[in-house]
Every structure is written in structure tokens, then in C-alpha cells.
């Protein structure tokens, strides 16, 4: 799989799935735009040291102005992988409405704004791939994560609608990971009970960011030409569709 000559935007590139995805696209030959609220300069340097091409951009995916500035500086665009996301746990009776609003803003509004910018950048060229990140919890639900589950379920609905709207030129798909060994999961500080819950899938383990990155590259690459409106689930079999 090669992305030589292509420009790929990866949001949430400072850590976790986004960082692994950016590295994978760079290894495959793409020019990678690394977007995050946190600093991605060190990752850009690392990619360039390995003979790749990368630029670092600060962006808040929940802020329309910030997203507009991001796309204004990119130019022609082939692939977008929107990996930015947050999780704020809390039972619904005690959850501040601000925590709900922030998760909707980053996870769902952010997906909308990034997809909107991508479509505007791709439509004149008549081709492109958009991959949004949802979660297995959009299918399964989880006590204490109602806002997160709602935001990620919204991403699936957004993916399906955009796939119909943008076909056949732009393909829009989603990836719904299960528990992945990222800073968001914080596996090192889990209790035995928490780890048991996260590894209760048929494969009996949590995943690695690189495993999710491979699913994203599949959807963006030559093997994904008949895929649009789909949600694939690298979740160890926890979700079977």
C-alpha cells in the first residue's frame, strides 16, 4: 500500500491512534499534516528524520475558525483521518452539562467540521477519502459514559449521511475501535476489575494503536474502493456486525 504523492491530514496526531496513523501514512509515502491542540512538532521531526514528509499545525477541531485556518493552509487534499477525540466519564445524574457539551463539541461537532472542510477541499478534484473515528461504545453503550456514547453514535450517523451525499467521488467511512492502549485508556492505572472488563472481548486483549491505523489505511487505500458509509470495528470481536 502506497500513498506516495498524496497529502493526508491526521487530526489528534499528538498521541494514541492519531500518532500511529500519522506515522503509518508517512511510512507509506504520504505528506502528512499533523493537527492537534497539543504540540506535534517532535513527531514531525521524527517523521522527517525517517525521510518522510510532515508539517505540524495547531488546531482545535471543535472551533470553526481554527478548522477554517487549518484547511486554508493545506491546499489539495487526498485523505483525512479525524482521530481527535475526548472521553469524560461520569454518571448522568452527576455529570455537569459542560462535560456533555465538550464531548459533543470535540467528538461530533469536530467530526462535522473536519468532514466539511475535507469535502470543500476535495470536491473540485472529484476524489478523496474521509475516515472518521467513532467507538465500539456507539454500538454497545456503557454505564457512566452516556455523553461519549451519544457523541460517537452521532459520528456513525454522520458517516452514513455523508457517504450518500458525497458519492461517488468522495468515500466516507468510520472506524470504531475497542479498547486501545492509548493515554485515553490509561491501562497502566486500571484496576484488575477494569482491565477484566476491557479484555472481555473474544480475543481477550486490548488493541494497539497501530492495529487501528492499519484499518484506517485500508479504508483510505486501494483496497477500500468499494467501501463507503461503512463502520469497521477493530475491537477484538466485541462488536460483530
Select from 90, 93, 160, 111 the least CA-distant residue to 12. 111
The answer to whether residue 148 is catalytic is yes
State how beta strands 231-232 and 128-133 pair. unpaired
Whether the CB-CB separation of 129 and 224 falls below 8 Å is answered with yes
Selecting among 25, 71, 112, 148, the annotated active-site residue is 148
Taking alpha carbons only, the member of 17, 76, 19 closest to residue 44 is 19
Query: Distances in Å between the alpha carbon of 69 and those of 74, 85, 119?
Result: 9, 19, 15
The Cα 142–Cα 110 span in angstroms is: 22
**For residue 209, which of 62, 2, 36, 18 has the smallest C-alpha distance?**
18
The grid coordinates listed for 24 are: 503509518
Consecutive H or E run containing 114 = helix 110-122
Task: Determine the Cα–Cα distance for residues 144 and 123; give it in Å rounded to an integer.
Answer: 40
Rounded Cα distance between 130 and 79, Å, is: 6
Residue pair 235/140 in contact (Cβ under 8 Å)? The answer is no
Residues annotated catalytic, as ranges = 148
Amino acid at each position: 500500500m502506497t500513498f506516495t504523492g498524496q497529502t493526508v491530514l491526521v487530526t489528534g496526531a499528538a498521541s494514541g491512534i492519531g500518532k500511529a496513523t500519522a506515522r503509518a501514512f508517512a511510512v507509506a509515502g504520504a505528506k502528512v499534516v499533523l493537527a492537534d491542540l497539543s504540540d506535534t512538532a517532535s513527531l514531525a521531526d521524527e517523521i522527517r528524520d525517517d525521510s518522510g514528509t510532515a508539517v505540524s499545525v495547531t488546531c482545535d477541531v471543535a472551533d470553526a475558525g481554527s478548522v477554517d485556518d487549518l484547511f486554508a493552509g493545506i491546499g489539495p487534499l487526498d485523505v483525512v483521518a479525524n482521530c481527535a477525540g475526548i472521553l469524560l466519564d461520569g454518571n448522568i445524574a452527576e455529570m455537569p452539562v459542560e462535560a456533555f457539551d465538550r464531548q459533543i463539541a470535540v467528538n461530533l461537532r469536530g467530526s462535522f467540521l473536519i468532514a466539511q472542510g475535507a469535502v470543500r477541499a476535495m470536491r473540485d478534484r472529484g476524489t478523496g477519502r474521509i475516515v472518521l473515528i467513532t467507538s465500539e461504545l456507539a454500538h454497545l453503550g456503557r454505564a457512566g459514559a452516556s455523553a461519549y456514547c451519544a457523541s460517537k453514535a452521532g459520528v456513525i450517523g454522520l458517516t452514513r449521511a455523508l457517504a450518500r451525499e458525497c458519492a461517488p467521488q468522495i468515500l466516507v467511512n468510520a472506524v470504531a475501535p475497542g479498547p486501545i492502549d492509548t493515554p485515553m485508556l490509561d491501562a497502566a492505572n486500571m484496576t484488575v476489575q477494569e482491565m477484566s472488563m476491557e479484555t472481555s472481548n473474544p480475543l481477550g486483549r486490548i488493541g494497539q494503536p497501530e492495529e487501528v491505523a492499519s484499518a484506517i489505511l485500508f479504508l483510505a487505500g486501494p483496497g477500500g474502493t468499494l467501501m463507503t458509509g461503512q463502520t469497521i470495528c477493530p475491537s477484538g470481536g466485541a462488536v460483530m456486525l
